[in-house]
A and B are shown apart, each in its own frame.
Chain A
Amino acid sequence: MTAATSLLSLRGVRKEFPGVVALDDVDFEVRPGEVHALLGENGAGKSTLIKVLTGVYPRDGGEMSLGGETLSPQSVGEAQAAGISTVYQEVNLLPNLSVAQNLLLGREPRRFGLTDWKQMNAKARETLKRFRLDIDVTRPLGAFSVAIQQLVAIARGVDQRAKILVLDEPTASLDASEVEVLFDILRDLRTAGLGVVFVTHFLDQVYALSDRITVLRNGRKIGTFETAELPRPKLVEHMLGYELQGTASSHASRGTVTEGNDAALEMDSACVSGSVQEISLAAQSGEAIGLAGLLGSGRTEVCRALFGLDTLSSGRIRRNGRDVHITSPRGAIAKGIALCPEDRKANGIVGELSVRENIALALQARRGWWRPIPAREKRAMAEKAITDFKIATPDADKPVRLLSGGNQQKVILARWLAIAPDVLLLDEPTRGIDVGAHAEILRLIHQLCERGMALIVTSSELEELVAFSHRVIVLRDFRQIAMIEGEDITEDAVLQAIAS
């Protein structure tokens, strides 16, 4: 390793939460002009490290210095003033303020002590030019797509005359061309001598962009590697802590499903006004149907219709051959259909409730509120789920909001499996969770199929879809454009259908 001077350096950083050591003696160093990828599984401590770095959490031990000066930021403002700016995973901007206000919040240009709107909007347009964004900066941010909001968030981070730019999963809501724009900008910034800390679960992007990689596992640092010298399988091994089993999908397990039986769940030319049109699909028991398509193609909307969140304007839904009317999630659950939504935080978990309460929620709802589940039964159920799903939590009483994304997803899965639904809708079950939990959730999908459950799964990762689907439905612009079955399911075939 060269003796390049470090820009940011952390030594022996420690952070504890009640019952958990989130960071244990972690060293981390960023040089000027490098993109440093920070990788690790769920609960490895990436988010915690970033929050310590950016002043959200105070650290419990260790040293931190920026450009040779010791730093202990007590607030986001202090870290920013010192030159560390952050773009968080979820877009953390203000939808009610204009794009220009979001970009320059707290640094508004002023004349005679008053905000100079003209100069502010001009400055904002100037900043966004670098991002090849030509939008009306006076409109409220909420009027733009999530991708544009994310780019604005990054533009804001870059624009703060930062020395260190921290990007936490910045590409989760961007499409391929937007990712390219972002990467071009990051390369420019690297040339300009900025240190970029890059957290992602897309390994392709790590190899496309980063110079060095630091891997964390269970709150400890596993090592820092030159990206060019670390082959991908080795990286995955470091992240998981064990040797990777062949990741090749087991196409053999795709047993033939007896035709002619009534499908567990069937959609027949279903339309929802203002949303999906003419969708027909059928899932037999024991089958997984993959929904493929680009962002905004209507995958989520199909799930919403099946779960009664949107009502069909025409067409029908059948369960075991009988027409059913699903007008509410409650009705859907009563008919044995469960949904794990895409946006875990907003629609899935009840953050303040404990792991145990969250798991018991669906079962309780089905029993009715006047028949409480005995505490012992609830505890047993939670303990079983925690072992079965390998949920990383010190105990079942921990509020769910304190768990990492992948573990929250497992809690939601456990909740639905407690009521043993016949049909399970999984909307992007692996979004924002990393390799280990990823593999476990895929394994779970296989298991559930074997148990005879019918699954409908959306995913933007083709590799994953191909691995578990018995049938892939490809959507574009809210319409069904292709169905691929059996041995024909390959990444290429799906990609071609999407691109056709």
Chain B
Amino acid sequence: MIPARHAPVLVTAGLFAALFILGALQYDGFGTLRVFLNLFTDNAFLAVTAIGMTFVILSGGIDLSVGAVIAFTGVLTAVLIQAGWPLWLVFPLVLVIGGTFGAGMGCLIHFYRLQPFIVTLAGMFLMRGLAVVVSERSVPIEHSVYDAVNAAGVMLPGRAFISAQAIMLVIVLAGALILAHYRRFGTYVYAMGGNAESARLMAVPVARTTIGIYALSSFLAALAGIMFSFYTSSGYALAAVGLELDAIAAVVIGGTLLTGGYGYVIGTLVGVMLMGLVQTYIAFNGSLNSWWTKIVIGVLVLIFVCLQRIRIPTRAATGSARE
């Protein structure tokens, strides 16, 4: 028997399979390993961001700053590389900046009891503004390592390609799965999302966990920023505008409850993949405007939020029927 709590993830996976089969029947070259693997490559930075977002939402919070962190990281990386800084210094530096920035937001949220929405909204403006201050124009990156990494990967038959982006995504995913399901930190995240007050009374280190959650989210956003800079071979302050909302949508479509406590990291990956597949489908169709992607995603989010609504009252009702 399949536990009911896995149902949302399975629904999303089912939708993915259905759309994949539909596309394969309609269009030549759709139902191939190549298209499937390209989903990983093209959505790697979004998936990495959304995985961080999953922890935030599981804990009952929200992080609106991730898109701006990606842009800031990308533009700073590009400027520093063009200024001649070595990569081994640039990458750790921007990752530390990202992590520290997130930890700072976590501190504000915990110690001053501020709404995550407001704190991360402020963080979003701050990061976006800083990004523009660093460079208003798009900065191209010319570096041999960038060319090498972008060409690196595993070529499979049928021109299918496992890119460095995809490999990075799989590594992050593996780490996130371990963190969520095999480390105390993960349990604490679920605990806080289930009931913050109970979690505190059960001696969950709420301060450490809150700071850790937002640090993780910003760190992964910074990592996604680096991946984005590889993907575009440039850094641009106005890149990834609204990406935080795509990440939130992916988390919701992946079956995580927006109020926290219920959901899975793997669901988020499936959510991102489904969103990517919708985009691919529309690209294969050719006649549809690419903005239809947004419409479909909007409908999907709405359906999933409604499904969660239906699931929740049944749980509450069985609870109250016992008096």
Contact = CB atoms under 8 A, between A and B. Distances in A.
Interface of A: 56, 75-77, 80, 86, 88, 92-97, 101-102, 105-106, 108, 113-115, 139-140, 142, 145-146, 156, 275, 295-296, 299-301, 342
Interface string B252-272: 000000000110000000000
A56 B184 CA distance: 23
A106 B319 contact: no
A142 B315 contact: yes
Contacts of B35: none
B37 interface: no
B201 A75 contact: no
Nearest to A78: B203
Given A115-B184, A300-B323, A97 B190 contact: yes
Interface residues of B, number: 30
Nearest to B195: A94
B201 A76 contact: yes
A115 B322 contact: no
B202 A114 contact: no
A106 B184 contact: yes
B183 A115 contact: yes
Contacts of B315: 142
Given A76-B203, A94-B202, A105 B322 contact: no
A146 B322 contact: yes
B323 A93 contact: no
Nearest to B197: A92
For the residues of B in contact with A, the DSSP-based class is helix
27 contacts: A56-B201, A76-B200, A76-B203, A77-B205, A80-B203, A88-B201, A92-B195, A93-B198, A94-B191, A94-B194, A96-B261, A101-B190, A105-B191, A105-B203, A106-B184, A108-B184, A115-B184, A139-B3, A142-B315, A142-B319, A146-B319, A156-B202, A275-B321, A295-B322, A296-B323, A300-B320, A301-B321
A275 B184 CA distance: 41
B187 A105 contact: yes
Interface in B183-230: 183-184, 187, 190-191, 193-195, 197-205
Contact of B262 (A96, A106, A114, A301): A96
B203 A115 contact: no
A124 to B, nearest CB: 13
A86 B320 CA distance: 25
A295 B320 CA distance: 11
B261 A76 contact: no
Contacts of A56: 201
A96 B194 contact: yes
Nearest to A160: B203
A97 B323 contact: no
A101 B200 contact: no
Given A96-B193, A115-B183, A300-B320, 14 more contacts: A76-B203, A92-B195, A105-B204, A106-B184, A113-B183, A114-B178, A140-B5, A142-B315, A142-B319, A146-B319, A146-B322, A296-B321, A296-B323, A342-B323
